């Protein structure tokens, strides 16, 4: 049985950067670039025609910009993953990460490993923020950023906690010791700056 190839559209108007993306993504394996455009106006037509799994989207495309396009993609094709590509920090474009509807926010000067991490994360249903913007001041109420601080295991435990399970129940479900669950829970609380379950639920953005 052949391994599924994830279908990608690249929406970027700088030819040299596009070629670099194509080469890098092809080197990863497991992905198929089905279309490329440098126009925000053309992108929605290409999505309808090619039905990608994921879009690598420049935030500053001519025509409709990446933020506008992300909103449209979310409404029309909610299952498609969107990775925003930019040279700017969120603070420089005066937006909160929590108001960005994309699945990932990636700086263009990041390396191939960061791109691979972003692709793997969003296709696994997780949010991803480029680690090179970890020093940006982000509101504690920014659930996009807060969830991206957590490891995959911590996110799994967080969802179970918010769902009403206690440490012992989570321990049994995940086949981990109760001590390990308590350690993860403590780390989650510290990362999200939460002092009780109600704060945890609010800051995680899960509910």
Rounded to the nearest angstrom, the gap between the alpha carbon of residue 123 and the centroid of all alpha carbons in its chain is: 9
Tokens 């001041």 correspond to: 137
Q: What percentage of the chain has pLDDT greater than the value 90? A: 29
Q: Delimit the domains of the chain by residue range.
A: 6-141, 150-204
Separation CA 110–CA 114 (nearest Å) = 6
For the domain bounded by 150-204, which CATH number is listed?
Answer: 1.10.10.10
Q: Note the pLDDT tens digit of each residue in 57-94.
A: 998 887 788 888 998 999 999 999 999 988 765 554 44
Taking the alpha carbons of 140, 163, 71, 85 in that order, is the dihedral positive or negative?
positive
How do residues 137-179 score in pLDDT, each as one tens digit?
A: 334 444 555 555 667 787 788 888 877 888 999 999 888 888 8
Residue 118 above 70 pLDDT? yes
Q: Which CATH superfamily is domain 6-141 in?
A: Response regulator (3.40.50.2300)
Is pTM beyond 0.85? Reply is no
Q: Give dist(CA 58, CA 46) in Å, integer.
A: 15
- Give residue 31's pLDDT: 94
pLDDT value of residue 36: 95
């Amino acid at each position: 049985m052949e391994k599924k190839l994830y279908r990608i559209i690249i929406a970027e108007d700088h030819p040299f950067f596009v070629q670099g993306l194509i080469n890098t993504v092809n080197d990863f394996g497991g992905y198929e670039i089905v279309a490329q455009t440098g126009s925000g106006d053309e992108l929605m037509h290409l999505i309808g025609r090619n039905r990608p799994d994921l879009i690598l989207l420049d935030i500053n495309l001519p025509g409709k910009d990446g933020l506008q396009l992300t909103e449209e993609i979310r409404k029309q094709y909610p299952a498609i993953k969107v990775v925003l590509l930019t040279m700017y920090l969120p603070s420089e474009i005066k937006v909160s990460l929590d108001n960005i509807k994309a699945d990932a926010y990636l700086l263009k000067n990041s390396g191939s490993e960061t791109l691979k991490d972003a692709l793997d994360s969003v296709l696994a249903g997780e949010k991803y923020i480029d680690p090179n913007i970890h020093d940006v001041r982000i509101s504690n109420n920014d659930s996009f950023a807060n969830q991206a601080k957590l490891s995959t295991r911590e996110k799994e435990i967080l969802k179970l906690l918010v769902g009403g399970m206690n440490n012992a129940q989570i321990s049994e479900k995940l086949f981990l010791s109760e001590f390990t669950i308590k350690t993860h829970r403590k780390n989650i609380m510290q990362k999200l700056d939460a002092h009780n379950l109600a704060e945890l639920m609010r800051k995680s953005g899960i509910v």
